Structure 1
Amino acid sequence: MKKVKKPYHFNQMQSVSDFKNTMKNDGLDFPVSENLDALCSPFTLYGKEVPNRMGIQPLEGFDGLPSGAPSDLIFRRYHRYASGGSGLIWYESIAISADGRCNPLQMVIHEDTVPEIARLIRESNEAAANVFGSGHRPYNIIQLTHSGRRSTNKDWEPTPLAAALNPYMDDHNAIDGRSGTIEIATDEKIEEIIEGFIHGAELSAEAGFDAVDIKVCHEYILRELLSAFTRPGKYGGSFENRTRALFEIIDGIRKRVGSGIEICVRLNAYDCVPYPYGWGMVQKEGVMEPDLTEPVKLCRMLVEKGVKLINLSTMMPRYRPYGAGLMAEHNEQEITPYAGTYDLLKATRDIKKQVPGGVFMCTGLTWLEQFGANVGAGGIEQGWFDIAGFGRQAFAYPDYAKDVLEGQGMQRKKCCITCDKCYDLIQIGHTTTGCVVRDQEVYLPLYRKYVQKK
């Protein structure tokens, strides 16, 4: 598997000051606060009160039913998230169609799955109220997706649908690194996907979500259109064409659903892939360096259209936008997650400063283990972002927010240790995933059966 460079031993750091000084000495001057009150403060989002500024990122458990409906494990996971106190829950990717699944266990939204998805939200809200009282209701967001070049059929075979060929990505489309035979999406197929997102938003409103995320990040189809410099036709080439599908979806949702559901996006700040194959990069061929000009322009346009909540990511926060970049997908490459996380947080800060009215959620804090809360609080205090987002941390530690709200901070013994066993379950085991270390009752037997025996 990938070689993750871990030069820091957070379990040996005695204080927040130790963490701050150690990272700063290595050129990683994270925003840090010993006071976690900023995480606990409620705020208003799209006219609704959010109980606090801690959010759970959309992270799939690969455990939906074949029909696309949520399974018992999905109900368990979101009940744990909600009763754990996070103010905002960004539900994992739910495909708009069966051919847009990134794995055969991904949820799919359609008329037959809406009742169970609605029950999932309702019961999760009840789980939160049972712990925190009726006044505490998480803000619930659904992430809709079409997996594009990451698409996989029911047998885990890659069925990549790409916006354009990309020499940095074409040899490893599937989650497990396989390529498959790439199909280039026609304009007609893009239009079909646009309609799928609009209809998916209608169903999301029916299910009871507060907002719908139009997923424009990572390797998926709408993000890939942002970097489709080499694609001919109305969805490629110019900035207007490359953003056309996103705005057609937004306009379609507004027309079809009105005020029935708010709209937000999870968006790549940059791609870690050189021009003309990467978004948010210096527009000189082969140069691996970010340029936030177009991302800032897009974020401003989104906010002007009322899409105020923007959750920034990159291909993976562990990758730096320099050197190997996305090539770190390959086993022989070394990954530097701490520098990658710092670069992404800085980009979030820089974009936020240039986009008045935007509400920004950050990514990558799990790599900082128990000090992720201190960086989350510091980033909010110093204006880097508005909401501290936690992804894999929530797999391991679903009640991290409750501990912060109760004044305990994040407990090292409960934290994600970034061992990547949750990825192994997916990439090697082709099975349901979760925290093998902190949730052993469910996931250790799966790890032994599907990973260790291979």
Structure 2
Amino acid sequence: MAPQDLNRGVPGLEYFTPKHNANPGAPFPNAQQNVPTPTLFKPLTIRGTTLRNRILVAPMCQYSTAHEGPTTGALTDYHIATLGHYALKGAGLVFIEATGVQANGRISPNCPGLWTDAQIPALRRVSDFIRSQGAQSGIQLAHAGRKASTCAPWIAGEKTEGGKKKVSVKAGVDVGGWPDNVVGPMGGQEWAWDEKAADDESGGYWAPRALSTKDIEELVLDWANAAQRAVKAGIDVIEIHGAHGYLIHQFLSPVTNQRTDKYGGSFENRTRLLIEITEAIRKVIPDTMPLYLRISSTDWMEETEKGKSLGSWDVESSLRLAKLLPGLGVDLLDVSSGGNHPEQRINMFDSKDYQIRIASQIRRELKKENLSLFIGAVGLITEAEQARNIVEEGGAANAKTGDTEIAKEAEAAVKVTEAKDGNEPSADVVLVARQFMREPEWVLKVAWQLGLDVAWPNQFLRIRFPKL
């Protein structure tokens, strides 16, 4: 056997990385398993792509691109090191974080963008590595709207307000911000996200200016142009970010959208921007390419005075929107919640299983009407406390170590995607974020706790967990 056949490289790359003997994170083909393969580890085909398992890395802001110079907004080796490692360790799909379709659509000056062709090569480099490890590469296209031009959270964390760490700090021109070009459905100081006065030192957000109809038309075009660049960069999946109080969510909710033109007022008008963006993207990407959408399924504002007087985006609104999505060419709805207003009555980082229940409700309603839309559950497996509230106390029956928390997380992940006792699963995929930052090998650990023999990357075979 020739030396090059002993350690084959992944073809089509300008550098060498070994081609794995078997796809990491996937059960060994034709292997004799001790347990039935849970749905969580079964492949899932969506349009022209097939996920090797149902565990997806959710987009996570890293605030790690240059804010000035020729590489502004371009991904770096940091993103290969982090995102590439999740792919290496078995995730089915790895999402690149919220990426601005316009320069003023970034959350911070150090967030990535895709508003120019100059940003394509760095994106392709990251995407190529993710794919070389057997995962799909995804990108979340976004516009922060009135939550734009803020500093990285660790900058805010260094500042205090009344003895407490600040949540947000405005990014001024001196650090690459754009205080005069923050935009939203509405304009004026009263529409700043935290609703604080311009001279209030505790304020962490700039006042937006209201987008004109012409601005919106350009925005829709820029979203489509960014999608085309993502295709050129070799991305497998595009997700539209319509959640967490960013621009699309701001248009969806009557709490933040009081416009009187065709983009405000009725449900049809408030969803118009999202629909136009979705249609524009679907026209310019391949028919074989999946299109995902992330929404906040509720503002969590129903019980507030503002929500009662203005109305809010709620679960019923999300259900109504979800029924439109298959006809628009959306393949998967990624169900999150909150983030649109500081008065929300739930902390979206401590939402336990509420989002799972909402995802399950949407999935059931769509099934009743024979509508085809995959559902993703997010925010459910990231904390041990959440896992404890999803599964029964006592841990997983198949746990072979004292690591009861990962066992509970494994059981929780299975429960969400598995049909049981005639009941439909809550979701088709799970999107996990912070737990991957803590444990990049989370997929491999979950499989082991479930008693499932999955492939490991070649370079890690010598330290793989023993077969159960």
TM-score (structure 1 length as normaliser): 0.70
Q: Offset at 1:93?
A: 0.8
Return the alpha-carbon distance in structure 2 between the equivalents of residues 262 and 255 of structure 1: 12
Aligned to 1:389: 431
Q: Offset at 1:362?
A: 0.8
Q: Which of residues 131, 145, 168 in structure 2 aligns to 1:148?
A: 145
Return the alpha-carbon distance in structure 2 between the equivalents of residues 69 and 358 of structure 1: 32
- CA deviations on 1:227-269 (whole Å, 9 max, x unpaired) are 1452110111111111111111222223333426332111111
Give the 5 Å matches for 1:187-206. 187-206=213-232
Return the alpha-carbon distance in structure 2 between the equivalents of residues 68 and 172 of structure 1: 29
Aligned to 2:334: 311
Contact residue 230 and residue 276 of structure 1 kept, 8 A: no
1:85 alignment partner, SS class? coil
1:388 alignment partner, SS class? strand
Contact residue 194 and residue 204 of structure 2 kept, 8 A: no
- CA deviations on 1:307-358 (whole Å, 9 max, x unpaired) are 1211111125xx9xxxxx8436xxxx995955x2222211111111112321
Give the 5 Å matches for 1:38-437. 38-66=39-67, 67-109=72-114, 110-126=116-132, 128=133, 137-152=134-149, 155=175, 159=179, 160-164=182-186, 169-171=193-195, 178-228=204-254, 229-259=257-287, 261-274=289-302, 284-285=308-309, 291-315=314-338, 326-327=342-343, 338=350, 340-356=351-367, 357-364=372-379, 365-367=381-383, 368=386, 370=406, 371-382=408-419, 383-407=425-449
Based on CA coordinates, which of the two structures has the bigger radius of gyration? Answer: 2
Q: Offset at 1:209?
A: 1.1
After superposing on structure 2, the runs of 4+ consecutive aligned residues of structure 1 that deviate more than 6 Å are 165-168, 275-278
Closer/same/farther in 2, CA of residues 212 and 398 from structure 1, 3 Å limit:
same
- The more displaced of 146-155 and 203-212 is 146-155
Closer/same/farther in 2, CA of residues 161 and 409 from structure 1, 3 Å limit:
farther
2:298 alignment partner, SS class? coil
Q: Offset at 1:304?
A: 2.2
Closer/same/farther in 2, CA of residues 177 and 315 from structure 1, 3 Å limit:
farther
Q: Offset at 1:140?
A: 2.1
Return the alpha-carbon distance in structure 2 between the equivalents of residues 212 and 173 of structure 1: 37
Closer/same/farther in 2, CA of residues 121 and 337 from structure 1, 3 Å limit:
closer
Closer/same/farther in 2, CA of residues 44 and 181 from structure 1, 3 Å limit:
same
Q: Offset at 1:306?
A: 2.4
Amino acid at match of 1:372: E
2:293 alignment partner, SS class? strand
Contact residue 36 and residue 404 of structure 1 kept, 8 A: no
- CA deviations on 1:113-140 (whole Å, 9 max, x unpaired) are 10110111111222x2xxxxxxxx2222
Q: Offset at 1:408?
A: 6.4
- CA deviations on 1:348-399 (whole Å, 9 max, x unpaired) are 1111111232111111120236333321210111411111111111111111
Contact residue 39 and residue 52 of structure 1 kept, 8 A: yes
Contact residue 80 and residue 126 of structure 2 kept, 8 A: yes
Contact residue 35 and residue 374 of structure 1 kept, 8 A: no
Aligned to 1:27: none
Closer/same/farther in 2, CA of residues 362 and 409 from structure 1, 3 Å limit:
farther
Identity %: 23
Closer/same/farther in 2, CA of residues 334 and 173 from structure 1, 3 Å limit:
farther
Aligned to 2:17: none
Amino acid at match of 1:309: L
Structure 1 gap ranges (5+): 1-33, 129-136, 320-324, 411-454
Return the alpha-carbon distance in structure 2 between the equivalents of residues 169 and 232 of structure 1: 20
Closer/same/farther in 2, CA of residues 106 and 168 from structure 1, 3 Å limit:
closer
Closer/same/farther in 2, CA of residues 285 and 267 from structure 1, 3 Å limit:
same
Return the alpha-carbon distance in structure 2 between the equivalents of residues 91 and 273 of structure 1: 29
Q: Offset at 1:292?
A: 2.2
Closer/same/farther in 2, CA of residues 158 and 274 from structure 1, 3 Å limit:
farther
2:91 alignment partner, SS class? coil
Closer/same/farther in 2, CA of residues 257 and 388 from structure 1, 3 Å limit:
closer
Q: Offset at 1:148?
A: 0.3
Aligned to 1:419: none
What is the RMSD of the two structures over their aligned residues, measured on CA atoms? 3.2
Count residues in correspondence.
350
